[in-house]
Amino acid sequence: MHAILHALSIAGSMTWQITWALILGFLLSAVVQAVVHKATVVRLLGDDRPRTLSVASALGAASSSCSYAAVALARSLFRKGANFTAAMAFEIASTNLVVELGVILALLLGWQFTAAEFVGGPVMILLLAALFRLFLRDRLLAEARQQASYGRAGSMEGHAAMDMSVGGEGSFARRLLSPRGLTSVSHVFVMEWAAILKDLVIGLLIAGAIAAWVPDSFWQAFFFADHPLAGKLWGPLVGPLVAIASFVCSIGNVPLAVVLWKGGISFGGVVAFIFADLLILPILNIYRKYYGARMALFLLGTFYPAMVVAGYVVEFLFGVLGLVPDQRDAEIPMSGIEWNYTTWLNIAFLLVAAALLLRFLRTGGAPMLRMMGGSPDAGEHEGHGHH
């Protein structure tokens, strides 16, 4: 009993630390999705030129941070004519370059990790674009396009297919603050939470359990913590493999990253671990359904080295600049609730979240929640702002 309570108390402390940041991140993401049309996104992702890839990354960073929704959305963009490389850049950015991830990394691990994430993400996208140029054959792409056109359901399909943006005239602010705009924001906000909640809870519970039950000595041996050079070389190679096996996607893997960092994985290893949320086993299975088995293997074979190299780049760059934080300072949040800025921010943002939830329920949101898992084509016709 004591061991279980210890694990739960760690999970609870982590949750309390990051609540306001999650609400803020999802709110910003909802605001962007409420005013940017999906059709605009497809139009901007027509090729794999560097400029297009930067646009794809920026749009991804402003969109959903649930890995499943990001993967479903990338497929829906590809089906509508977006370039495959650009769709993948969008997918990586939407789970690895989003605001809420950056804020949570800063709160739980330190700002250096946020910086590393935003430096490593673009490096990974550039490496992938290069690998795709070198190795992605037209035949494989044609097969993937054929398979994508069948529209086989993965996860969070309905969520990815819904376009809730608000059309019409007027400035960004006017559209946003109109009744329709507020309704749209409330709908996207609640759907984002619904999409990510399960993974977030699982991630916090797994992190709590591992922090409470697995002794640091195990991790220190596993990550070669006593051999700095071997550890730096090993970390980025093994980080993604731990992620693939842990099943936790997007933001849910940050609490586990805290545990691994305290356990002795290298700085670059943490970064590679966080990037690997797009290779967890359930998502590899979704790639197989979406694009066929050969493309799923191709994605594994290109994503993995790109993550590893991005981890090395970050390790080297931040090491040279003296920005790698001291591992001895790493601590797992255990304090629970105190009267400090976290508590005030949590209270304020929980009130905002409650207001949005109320708006969502009053404007017919509940039936939409049931459609979230739906088929990829179901959500195309609903929504608020179709022309």
pLDDT digits (tens, 9 = 90+) for 73-115: 899 899 989 999 999 999 999 999 988 889 899 999 999 999 9
What mean pLDDT do residues 215-244 have?
A: 94
Instruction: Give percent of the chain above pLDDT 90.
Output: 55
Among 140-154, 232-246, 359-373, which is the least confidently predicted range? 359-373
* Residue 239 lies in domain: 2-164+174-367
Give me the pLDDT at residue 381, please.
Answer: 38
| Euclidean distance between CA atoms 48 and 15, whole angstroms | 39
Average pLDDT, the chain: 88
CA distance readout (Å), 93 to 53, 69, 90, 161, 280:
10, 13, 5, 18, 17
- Per the model's pLDDT, the better-predicted residue between 306 and 68 turns out to be 306
Query: Has residue 385 got a pLDDT over 50?
Result: no
Give me the pLDDT at residue 88, please.
Answer: 97
Banded pLDDT at 216 (limits 50, 70, 90): confident
Query: Has residue 354 got a pLDDT over 50?
Result: yes
Burial 317-329, CB ≥16 within 10 A → b, else e:
bbeeeeebeeeee
Burial 206-225, CB ≥16 within 10 A → b, else e:
bbbbbbbeeeeeebeebbbb
Kindly state whether residue 192 falls inside one of the protein's structural domains.
yes
Banded pLDDT at 169 (limits 50, 70, 90): low
* Number of domains observed in the structure of the chain: 1
- Torsion sign, CA atoms 363, 367, 371, 373: positive
Give me the pLDDT at residue 275, please.
Answer: 94
Banded pLDDT at 252 (limits 50, 70, 90): confident
- Per the model's pLDDT, the better-predicted residue between 255 and 156 turns out to be 255
Banded pLDDT at 335 (limits 50, 70, 90): confident
Kindly state whether residue 204 falls inside one of the protein's structural domains.
yes
What mean pLDDT do residues 6-29 have?
A: 89
Query: Has residue 382 got a pLDDT over 50?
Result: no
Token couple for 144? 């993937």
Kindly state whether residue 380 falls inside one of the protein's structural domains.
no
Kindly state whether residue 349 falls inside one of the protein's structural domains.
yes
Kindly state whether residue 312 falls inside one of the protein's structural domains.
yes
Kindly state whether residue 372 falls inside one of the protein's structural domains.
no
CA distance readout (Å), 52 to 56, 57, 83, 307:
6, 9, 10, 21
Query: Has residue 349 got a pLDDT over 80?
Result: yes
Kindly state whether residue 384 falls inside one of the protein's structural domains.
no
Give me the pLDDT at residue 56, please.
Answer: 94
CA distance readout (Å), 28 to 63, 65, 111, 137, 157:
9, 11, 20, 38, 22
Kindly state whether residue 379 falls inside one of the protein's structural domains.
no
Query: Has residue 53 got a pLDDT over 60?
Result: yes
pLDDT digits (tens, 9 = 90+) for 107-162: 999 999 999 999 999 999 999 999 999 999 999 999 999 999 987 777 777 666 66
